[in-house]
Amino acid sequence: MLLDKNDIYELDRIKRLNIINSITGIKPANLIGTKSKEGVNNVAIFSSVVHLGSQPAQLGLLCRPTHTRKSDTYTNITDTGYYTINQVSTSFVRQAHFTSAKTAPEVSEFDVMNLTPENLNDFYAPFVQQSSVKIGMKFLDELLLPNGCRLMIGSVELVELPDASVDTIGQIDLSSFDCAGISGLDSYYSLKKIDSFPYVNQKVLEHSEFTGD
């Protein structure tokens, strides 16, 4: 299949949506936990968490355009300044997926989807107890993108993850706790570690199999 810009534009809307959302491959599956000013817990699935930097530790979260409707997640983040990122495991992908349903602001998806909110270190926003990797975030800023989406920038305030999943240099084996990934909007994959390689500098490259040495 070879598609130019016009071909893509003329595709059926659903087919175009699925292709464009899938061509980048496997994305992280995360549940974003927030709490409203009124104290109602909210949780919703996102596949758009990205690494921005390690020092200071910052992550980005892409939110959909807000000109027609502000999601509970976006509203709660901007109102309170706090949210959590919780990695989805294969054991609860169905529950995680169905948090994408639009519910009334006074209804908690934790209750509807039978997920358990968890408090860690008196952090304002709720974590997902079922998740193996939990990240507490503080909202710093947002960037309005050309398509109307908003890149939410946050600092990493708190992290909980399984001790056994972290090696001596800090690499996390995602397959050790059955981490799930998303392709497109609704297809989920289990992840399996293939290998680890050294940081590549000129010396390492010169002694690699690619140079014939």
Average pLDDT of the residues in 135-155? 96
Are 145 and 91 in contact by the 8 Å Cβ rule? The answer is: no
pLDDT (tens digit, 9 = 90+) per residue, 124-139?
999 999 999 999 999 9
Domain edges within the chain: 26-206
Are 69 and 50 in contact by the 8 Å Cβ rule? The answer is: no
Model confidence band, residue 212 (pLDDT cutoffs 50, 70, 90): low
pLDDT (tens digit, 9 = 90+) per residue, 31-89?
999 999 999 999 999 999 999 999 999 999 999 887 777 889 999 999 999 999 999 99
Model confidence band, residue 154 (pLDDT cutoffs 50, 70, 90): very high
Are 89 and 134 in contact by the 8 Å Cβ rule? The answer is: no
Question: Exposure of 62 by Cβ count < 10 A (0-12 exposed, 13-18 middle, 19+ buried)?
Answer: middle
Which H helix or E strand runs over 200? none
CB under 8 Å to 152, separation ≥6 — which residues?
A: 60, 61, 62, 63, 74, 77, 139, 142
Which H helix or E strand runs over 90? none
b/e string for 102-123 if b means 16 or more Cβ within 10 A? eeeeeebbbeebebebbeeeeb
CB under 8 Å to 174, separation ≥6 — which residues?
A: 87, 165, 191, 193
Are 8 and 23 in contact by the 8 Å Cβ rule? The answer is: no
Q: Is the pLDDT of residue 197 over 80?
A: no
137 torsion bin: left (phi>0), alpha (psi -120 to 50), beta (else) = beta
Q: Is the pLDDT of residue 120 over 90?
A: yes
CATH code given to domain 26-206: 2.30.110.10
Query: Does 56 sit behind a cis peptide bond, omega within 30 degrees of 0 on the bond before it?
Result: yes
